[in-house]
Amino acid sequence: MREPNLSIRNILMLTIGALSLLVAMFTLQETLQQWNRLERIQELRQAMVLGDQLFDATESLSVERDVTFLALDSSGPATAADLKGDVAESRREAGDKIAAVLPSLGKYPFPELVPALQQITEDGKKLQELRAAVDKNLALPFKQRDAAIADRWFHDMTDMLTATRAVWIDFMGHFGDIDANVTLQIRLKYFLGGITEYAGQERALIGRLLVHNREPRPAEQADLLRWQGKVDFSWEVNDLIAAQAGLYPAIEPAFKDARSHYSNLYDMMHEMFFLPGVKQRLPYPISVGFWLELATEATDSLYTLKNAALDATQVYINGMRERAVNGIGIRLLVLLASLGLCFYSFRIVTSRVLKPIQELVDALLITSEGKNVVSLPVPYDRQDEIGKLARVLRSFQKTMVDIKRYNRDLERSNRELNDFAYIASHDLKEPLRGIHNHSRFLLEDNREKLDKDSLKRIDRLLYLSQRIERLVSDLLYFSRLGRQELAEQPTDLNAVVHDVESTLKEFLEQAHAKIRIDGVLPTVICDGPRVAEVFRNLVVNGVKYNDNAAKTIDVGYIPAMRVAGRDRTDVFYVRDNGRGIARQFHDEIFRIFRRLEKPGPGSDGTGVGLTFVKKIIERHDGMIWLDSEPGKGTTFYFTLHEEDGGKSDRKEVA
């Protein structure tokens, strides 16, 4: 039983209904997405504050590590006494911040945070035991202290710092996909953390040099220079990120102040610690306590910068929240407007589109059957798409009368072209042969009777008659190239080139020329004899227009290359080391009978070789181009299939 077909009316009605449903679903989906985004923004606001608290706790641990390590490593009683107060203060600050931030992090359901937080908690318990051992060690005179305690302290604290920073990176990574600017601002905090880490390592090393009042060793100088470079790089990156994230106007004063502190600190300490090979002046002109005070001021300025960035980020996040709320309202309004527009469109479609289109389709069907439509139901002067369709139908009717007249003219033209080909191959060649033969007989019978000028003219007549015959033959062959079907089959181009080389063996030996195949050519689907003619013409040209004693012709294959902004695949090339071709003639050389050099009496060419090449390649739906300059040789590139489909399956074996 035949299934009923849907009419245009039913299709359009279903389309409008489906469109209305899609608009409603899309708008509802967008609204839910905005709602989810709003919830994510709320989470982000809290996470940014918590992330900054974790950032502060990490820096406090770094300060405690460095100050305590310097106290353990200090041999002078005065220096040790000065540092004990700093040890107690840094310990209290680090303990308070870690204790405040870890419970809040534990509330987030991020699986990777659970083992990391457990590890930090375990490390914190061990840290308490280690702090007790540190206090006991600090109470002893320097010579009685256990050096292993200092090494263990620095190692364990560094591990805890690394774990804490890893928690910060994992935690903030969950919020980096909400907004591109927020991602940049999180990266800003990451590089600020890098500055504090490198500066902390520098703070510890310089403090140790000051405690022992000794010059830095070469490895220590290298560390100082490396850390300085990393800090400088981090500042440059932060400058770029702040500008990209739109933070710079809000944090510019704090940014310049923090960078100035670090710059001043480096400038002051540069000659004492950072110059390799410079003899230091001992003792150093500053104490450990003063150094820690300077380093603390730089750290405080970094805190100020971090807080300014946090404030600016919160302002940006508040703007995101406001835009999300507004977006929800706008999408609801769009939903209502879309539904109203769909209803209005339904009425317009039924009255002004469906009926006129059906009438035009009926008229078009009648016209396609070769019948005339006396009058159309739609006026030609109607100024809308339907009126345009009516005018198109009218033009189509006229065109149908004309694609018929043109077909008759085309058939007549083809017949005349075939007649011309017959005349060129028989009637025109026959008198040319007669002229050539009679001229040759006249020359043979009267060579001794004719003067030198007459002999020269008869030789010229023989040459011109032969040249005309070759021109006629080439023209006839060119016309056949466009009309004959290609005999395409899988063809090994390696065998084709070797066959060309074999047929040209004597010519190549006389010219001291050699053909080289670069790599292995593929097997392609093509008309083998025609493609062989392409290679033969290109090889002969490369040898003929070549003044080098050793002439080389390279034949190769490129799977893919970019030409004039477009990717080309399966490209073949023939490269010579000959005279080259000026750029202004790159298109001219493919014109029929066009030669860049005037033919001499001994020349047997007609200037159609490259024309044949181009025609054969175009018959294979390919293209040809060249790369050449005078004196630098010429490379012809060509393809044997279209790039946009067509016969893109011509290549069989790579």
pTM (whole model) above 0.85: no
Q: Where in the chain is CATH 3.30.565.10?
A: 489-653
Provide the percentage of residues in the chain whose pLDDT is more than 90.
8
Q: How many other CB atoms are found less than 10 A from the CB of residue 564? A: 6
For residues 596 and 604, what is the distance between their CA atoms, to the nearest angstrom? 15
Report which residue type is found at 429.
K
| Range among 6-15, 29-38, 292-301 rated most confident | 29-38
pLDDT tier at 638, thresholds 50, 70, 90: very high
Is residue 603's pLDDT more than 60?
Answer: no
Q: Which helix (H) or strand (E) holds 557?
A: strand 551-563
For residues 533 and 552, what is the distance between their CA atoms, to the nearest angstrom? 19
Supply the mean pLDDT for the chain. Answer: 76
Is residue 514's pLDDT more than 90?
Answer: yes
Q: Which of 56, 57, 70, 64 is nearest to 87 (CA)?
A: 64
Structure letter (DSSP) for residue 486: P
Assigned token pair, 379: 């006026």
pLDDT tens track for 203-228: 777 777 777 777 777 887 787 778 77
For residues 589 and 216, what is the distance between their CA atoms, to the nearest angstrom? 74
pLDDT at 446: 80
What's the mean pLDDT in 466-478?
A: 65
pLDDT at 466: 67
Is residue 516's pLDDT more than 90?
Answer: yes
pLDDT at 480: 62
Place of tokens 């043109």: 406
Is residue 521's pLDDT more than 70?
Answer: yes
SS (H, E, C) 67-109: HHHHHHHCCCHHHHHHHHHHHHHHHHHHHHHHHHHHHHHCCCC
Looking at domain 489-653, its CATH superfamily turns out to be: Histidine kinase-like ATPase, C-terminal domain (3.30.565.10)
In DSSP terms, 490 is beta-bridged to 525
SS (H, E, C) 302-338: HHHHHHHHHHHHHHHHHHHHHHHHHHHHHHHHHHHHH
Start-end of H helices in 512-566? 528-544
| Range among 110-124, 280-294, 552-566 rated most confident | 552-566
Higher pLDDT, 575 or 348: 575
Higher pLDDT, 554 or 648: 554
For residue 614, CA distances in Å to 435, 527, 636 come to 33, 14, 11
Is residue 17's pLDDT more than 90?
Answer: no
**First-residue to last-residue Cα distance in the chain:** 52
- List the 489-492 sheet strands across, edge first: 489-492, 523-526, 651-653
Q: How many other CB atoms are found less than 10 A from the CB of residue 612? A: 20
Phi-psi category of residue 277: left, alpha or beta, with phi > 0 → left and psi -120 to 50 → alpha:
left
Is residue 646's pLDDT more than 50?
Answer: no
Residue 639: strand, helix, or coil: coil
Is residue 636's pLDDT more than 90?
Answer: yes
pLDDT tier at 575, thresholds 50, 70, 90: very high
For residues 559 and 573, what is the distance between their CA atoms, to the nearest angstrom? 11
For residues 531 and 538, what is the distance between their CA atoms, to the nearest angstrom? 11
83: Cα separation from own chain's centroid: 56
Among the ranges given (104-108, 578-582, 649-653), the one the predictor scored with the smallest mean pLDDT? 649-653
What's the mean pLDDT in 546-566?
A: 89
The angle, 0 to 180 degrees and rounded to 10, between the axes of the packed helices 218-244 and 248-269 is 170
pLDDT at 9: 60
